[in-house]
Structure 1
Amino acid sequence: MSDHFSGPRSLTDPAADITDVFAFPCPHSPQHLVLAMDVFGKAGPSALFSDAVIYRFRVRPAAIAETGPMSSFAIGTDEAIFDCVFEVPSSLKDGAQPIQYGRCMTPSGEAIQFCVNDEKGGKGNGVQVFAGQRSEPFFLDVRMIEKTVATGQLAFKKVGSDTLYGTNILAIVLKVEWKTLLKGEPMFAVVCETLAHGKRPVRIERVGRPEIKNVSLSWKMFDPVNRDLEIRDLYNSEDAFRLATDYFDTYRARMNANLTFYDGLDSKIDWAADEQGNHPLTKLLLADFLVVDASKPLSELSYFEIERSMLKGRIHATAGGRWLNEDIMDSIFTLYINGGNGPRIDDGIAGPITWSSKVFPYMAPPNPPRIVAS
């Protein structure tokens, strides 16, 4: 799931449905930060970006404000925005794939032109941009997650069935000289958004951390306050850097309830609630942006490492953020279920059909139509 199909509104326009967000130091040049946004889950061979959507990357400087049980980040107000927009695809004769062009507006005001599916992408001052169809980097067994939630018992098999095996997505990848283009250094908070194009752009979706809207917020049955409310479209409409107070208690109640459910799956409590009944992870997870430290090394298992170190009062060792090949479902379930105090949870899926590489544009080429799952 990660953020695939994360709410009723996202189902109406797959090209505006953000499926995943990644942020990591460039493997071969630490002066660069890589930001990636995937959209259009299970994209067909003819899938292209929407000319009616703005694909936005938002980056703000971040710092650790508190550690221990009250861990939190201080997020700066200076913001670097990268907006990617696309033209109407050109029509070609003889059934050839249409050609689509796009441009990325950088924080400096430069417009970088590129052609969709050109692996070299477009280049500007301190930025390289790729946009096109790639192999789905995310992997999970949705049926066994649903069975786990329905039965209250871990249902993962030794060898699971990857729900997204052989599928494709549309990806936008930015390789950015962070000292040149991003304000603040070297820690950043990253959020991706899709917005309806117009004089007053309207936010359709926003994604920071993986599996917030699906695994963490979608289940209604454990929530004693809003058991009948689908909250994900409300959540999508919020500014990740400035949550409104109107619905914050709604999000917090749902997150507390679902995290408490996961913590009980191993029949022991690893995350004791505070006096107000708040789960120790709720505050950090509702700060829903990827935090990446460009001064630290890339790690295959970097997601939430900064936050886990904060909770334990120690200095983080990795860049945090999120690397493309991390088994993110195992990482999240281990965090939620035993807090790292037990064996790593294994959902039975060892990897995607093809691993991403450490060479731009990083994600593997798209799978041929004959193996794309139905």
Structure 2
Amino acid sequence: MKKSKILLGTVIIAIIGLITVAADHIDAPAAQGTTADITDFYAFQGEDTNNLVFVANVQGLLSPGSTAAAQFDENVLVEFNIDTNNDNVEDLVIQAIPRDNTMYFFGPYAPGTTGLSSSINEMATKSSVPVTTYGVPAVVATENGMKMFAGPRDDPFFMDFARYGQIIGGTAPGFNNPGSDTFKGTNVLSIVVEVPKSEIGGSGTINTWVETKVKQ
């Protein structure tokens, strides 16, 4: 699970039986090498300042060769959680799940269940975008006031792990500037959704985090 806090600027239930999987770039053996493995989560104000952008990157450390074969797992739900009243429980969710090389988005909507288990309300607002394949221009869809993307991207995370090890080991005083990027030349699978602030409260502070949940 990745979590952050951000300040905003101005009836068919399909029970899927999903559970949360924690993740990181390297140290998630239960999810490693799958799209259940979260590398990073980003939430920020869009170029259109009336919108917020949510980004979940999964299945990191993909080489250029392996990126072409990497696919989103149809058994893995990626859920963007939004807490609008600071109780650390999701009040709204945006759910993304792939089917037949298309990423489907549900929400934002108030979930019927919270916490480790999730269901998809198929009566919620549904949007979609074709999954971009490796080596072709990004396919971006606009639907229901949202913009969406799903597909491979260069890993934007910068970390000099070799230097970090030296610092922890007491053999280096600090990081070099700019240092060496351990993730240079590796890719992730990325899910991006841009949504109007008016759809998630309009103003105030929200807590937001992302989870991957695997069908059981």
User: TM-score w.r.t. structure 1 length?
Assistant: 0.43
Deviations 1:13-64 (A, max 9, x none): 432111111111112x1110011110111222221111110011001115xx
1:81 equivalent in alignment to 2:93:
yes
Runs (5+) with no aligned partner, structure 2:
1-22, 110-123
Render the CA deviation track for 1:241-276: whole Å, top value 9, x for unaligned. xxxxxxxxxxxxxxxxxxxxxxxxxxxxxxxxxxxx
Paired residue for 1:48, among 71, 79, 82?
A: 71
**2:105–2:128 contact (8 Å) kept in structure 1:** yes
User: Which structure carries more helix by proportion?
Assistant: 1
Q: Deviations over 1:149-197 (max 9, x none)?
A: 1227535345532111121111111100011x21362321110010002
Instruction: Give the aligned partner of residue 169 of structure 1.
Output: 188
Shift of 1:76: 6.7
Report deviation, 1:78. 6.0
Contact 2:163 2:172 in 1 (8 A): no
Which has the larger Rg? 1
Distance 1:158 1:26 in 2: 29
Matched residue, 2:131: 116
The alpha-carbon distance between structure 1 residues 35 and 147, as it changes in their structure 2 partners (threshold 3 A), is: same
2:210 counterpart of 1:189 = no
Residues in 2 aligned to 1:79 and 1:159: alpha-carbon distance in whole angstroms: 40
Q: How does 1:236-255 map to 2 (within 5 A)?
A: none
Amino acid at match of 2:60: G
Q: Is the contact made by 2:83 and 2:208 (CA closer than 8 Å) also made in structure 1?
A: yes
Show CA shifts across 1:333-363 (max 9, x none): xxxxxxxxxxxxxxxxxxxxxxxxxxxxxxx
Aligned-pair Cα RMSD in Å: 2.3
| Secondary structure of 2:61's aligned partner | coil
Aligned letter for 1:8?
A: P
Provide the secondary structure at the position in 1 that maps to 2:84.
Answer: strand
Contact persistence 2:149–2:193 (CA under 8 A): yes
CA contact (8 A) 1:135 1:167 kept: yes
CA 1:133–1:151: 2 relative to 1, 3 Å = same
Aligned to 2:158: 139
Determine if the alignment matches structure 1 residue 5 to structure 2 residue 26.
yes
Shift of 1:83: 0.8
Quick one: structure 1 residues 101 and 145, their matched pair in 2 at CA, closer, same or farther if it must change by over 3 Å? Answer: same
Find the residue that maps to 1:151 and give its secondary structure.
coil
Q: How does 1:230-309 map to 2 (within 5 A)?
A: none
Whole-Å separation in 2 of the counterparts to 1:185 and 1:103: 27
Decide whether aligned partners of structure 1 residues 157 and 107 sit closer, same or farther in structure 2, where only a CA change above 3 A counts: closer
State the AA in 2 paired with 1:22: Y
Structure 2 residue 47 is matched with structure 1 residue 17: no
The equivalent of 1:35 in structure 2 is 54
User: What is the match of residue 103 of structure 1?
Assistant: 104
User: Which structure 1 residue ranges, 5 or more long, are not aligned?
Assistant: 63-73, 89-99, 199-374
Shift of 1:5: 2.0
Q: CA contact under 8 A between 1:78 and 1:183: conserved in structure 2?
A: no
Structure 1 runs of 4+ with >6 Å offset: none
Alpha-carbon distance between aligned partners in 2 of 1:126 and 1:186, rounded to the nearest angstrom: 21
Deviation at 1:141, TM superposition (A): 0.8
Q: How many Å separate the matches in 2 of 1:124 and 1:79?
A: 22
- What's the TM-score, normalizing by structure 2? 0.71
Contact 1:5–1:17 (Cα < 8 Å) also in 2: no
Give the aligned residue type for 1:115.
P
Counterparts of 1:54 and 1:34 in 2: how far apart (Å)?
A: 18
Counterpart contact for 1:80–1:183, Cα < 8 Å: no
SS at match of 2:179: coil
Is the alpha carbon distance of 1:184 and 1:140 closer, same or farther for their aligned partners in structure 2, counting shifts above 3 Å? same
For 1:136 and 1:54, how far apart are their aligned partners in 2? 21
**Alignment-mate amino acid for residue 189 of structure 1:** N
Tell me by how many angstroms 1:107 deviates.
2.5
Retained in 2: the 8 A contact 1:141–1:163? Answer: yes
> Per the alignment, in what secondary structure is the counterpart of residue 169 of structure 2?
helix
